[in-house]
Structure 1
């Protein structure tokens, strides 16, 4: 995991932020608080958040899905990019992490846009499908346990509409996916997932080397 784009030295990374990052103060505050958390490395990079907000606006998204909330940076950045009637269905099971998220959603005035489901994400996704919500989402962001990435992807692919976009985080996994000596379970799962998506003709694919690697899968 990485809280900044891989492969850039410090000077170049700081320059990138200095000429491109337009981070609202509420997001900066959340990012700074999360950096002090023992699990702060799970935070997405600010430039990735801004990129996701741009994608949401390009799509004209009104209904989005998030699998894995953590302290709420990604959901907050998406909520701020959505129109007033926009909605996020967010999946997480940690009361500790999402308590921080809820506090910032309230401060930013977007809590009414975010419907948080506190349950294992697969259960929530299956309930959405059973409730007839297939092909009703414009955008989905997956950033949760890597062992279930394929399951989250398959359900998200059903839930997003044709022309909708799925974004999947951590697909470069701090570079470990490219090291054949690394064979732990999470790394091998991400490798297999990346290889599957390369062959998946149901989507138009791009892996963007921003943050810790962000795969974009546009549903055909």
Structure 2
């Protein structure tokens, strides 16, 4: 992943934000030591942002699309009240097992419930509403995740969609590949959707923050 913000500025922002928990730090460090494509882990600055957004809407239920090694799910769990719940979806049993190992080391891990299956299948089976929905999975399905996610989003909830700058490649036309094109389409769909208001925040690789209009 390219550094869209100067590394020293990113480090300054991280140093002056709420610090990650010890379990999150160990999880992140082990991800970089032993997992392929470790840069996919959310990391301390974005993790602090996710926790803040969770607390701002007084969330009790979180839906996460894309678990990877479990860093963001644990961030959400740490931000939720005692009765809170995180449902997280991923198709990779190995990284899901890795995540569970670290969740088990935290008293907050009991709030997390993992579904190892295609996320759209899991989303079809879910009922009720979620206060926070975080999308950070395969980019080809981003519009599908967004549309189903909006059906599951609470009236006062917030949706957070990661990697919407895609290393800066979203400004290139024509798109370099299908994933880039899918992210460009997602950004267009959300910007034109009268049901929502949104802001694209240039933290890390870009996070699109979406709420229901009105």
TM value normalised by structure 1: 0.92
Q: 2:181 aligns with which of 163, 188, 194?
A: 188
Structure 2 unpaired stretches of 5+: none
Partner of 2:140: 147
- Is 2:10 the partner of 1:17? no
Counterpart selection for 2:154 from 157, 161, 165:
161
8 Å contact kept, 1:27–1:77:
yes
TM-score (ref. length: structure 2): 0.94
State the aligned residue count.
212
For residues 39-98 of structure 1, what are the alpha-carbon distances to aligned partners after superposition, in whole Å with 9 as ceiling and x for unaligned?
212111321110110010110000110000000000000000000000011111211101
Instruction: Return 5+ residue gaps in structure 1 as ranges.
Output: none
Secondary structure of the equivalent of 1:107? coil
- Cα distance in 1 for residues equivalent to 2:32 and 2:50: 20
Q: CA RMSD for the aligned pairs?
A: 1.4
Corresponding residue number in structure 2 for 1:73: 71
* In the alignment, structure 1 residue 84 sits paired with structure 2 residue 82: yes
Segment of structure 1 superposing worse, 39-48 or 75-84? 39-48
Higher relative contact order (CA 8 A, sep 6+): 1
Q: CA deviation at 1:12?
A: 2.1
Please list every run of at least 4 consecutive aligned residues from structure 1 whose deviation after the TM superposition is greater than 6 angstroms.
none
Shift of 1:122: 0.5
Matched, 1:112 2:105: no
